[in-house]
Amino acid sequence: METIQNKAAADTSEITSEMALVQAAKKGDLEAFSQLVQLYDRNVFRIAQHITHNEEDAQDVVQEAFLKAYTNLDQFQGNSKFYTWLVRIAVNEALMKLRKRRTGKTVSLDDDVETEEGAMPREVADWSPNPEQIYGQTELGDILKKTIQGLPPGFRTVFVLRDVEGLSTEETAETLGLSVPAVKSRLLRARLQLRERLGKFFNSRKGGDGKQ
């Protein structure tokens, strides 16, 4: 069984080997950089898809983000994790793509965050015991995608980094250039809005007459 100490040791060695790869890549070692790409390409793709909602754009973001990271590696100081630094580049690239798709409309992480929607729960009915099992895998995936796509970019980006990709609150704040309280407030509202919207699908009274 894995102990906490073992886990900590594994984390440390992961960071050490990541730093070694970054150092080698800084000197132009493309094999080392290729290993960094393989470590994080799936995460970058997922984050880009969540922000852009477009597979072609997400592919471009993966390419541009890694290319930018490679050409600017000398600016990476090592004060943060390489991954956090990379995600910051990727989020900016993804937001740029989103802006291009919505020509004439500016898109930033601050869009729609002033809305009061989701601040207070309206629906407090309980969910079915195993809500995911009501639907097949594909249908569930579609529901989850549609639901998260309905959130403003500033909310869904915070939720994806913090709750899906597992960055800490501090790392999320650093990555997005937000304060820790701003991340917490957006995270709360993102979580509550998603909960409210998913309730329509997972409500234990689903299919009933809507009365308790």
Partner 1 sequence: MKCTQFLNELTDYLDGTSSALLREELDEHLQWCHDCRVVMNTTKKTIEIYRDNKLYELPEQLRVNLQQAIIARCKGKGNVSPK
Binding site for partner 1 (CB under 8 A): 25-28, 30, 33-34, 37-38, 41-42, 45-46, 49-50, 58-59, 62-63, 66-67, 70-74, 120-121, 124-127, 131-132, 140-141, 144-145, 148, 159, 163-164, 166, 169, 184, 187-188, 191-192, 194-195, 198-199, 202
What are φ and ψ of residue 51, in 5° steps? -80, -45
SS3 at position 123? coil
Q: What does each C-alpha distance from 48 to 3, 8, 42, 83 come to in angstroms?
A: 34, 29, 10, 14
What are φ and ψ of residue 181, in 5° steps? -60, -35
User: Are 73 and 22 a contacting pair, CB within 8 Å?
Assistant: yes
CA–CA dist 99, 105 (Å, integer): 7
Closest separation in Å from C-beta 51 to partner 1: 11
Closest separation in Å from C-beta 202 to partner 1: 8
* Smaller CB separation from partner 1, 107 or 183: 183
CA–CA dist 87, 172 (Å, integer): 9
User: Are 87 and 48 a contacting pair, CB within 8 Å?
Assistant: no
* Smaller CB separation from partner 1, 71 or 103: 71
* Smaller CB separation from partner 1, 16 or 168: 168
* Smaller CB separation from partner 1, 48 or 95: 48
Closest separation in Å from C-beta 119 to partner 1: 8
* Smaller CB separation from partner 1, 110 or 123: 123
What the block records as the tokens of 151 is: 């959130």
Closest separation in Å from C-beta 120 to partner 1: 7
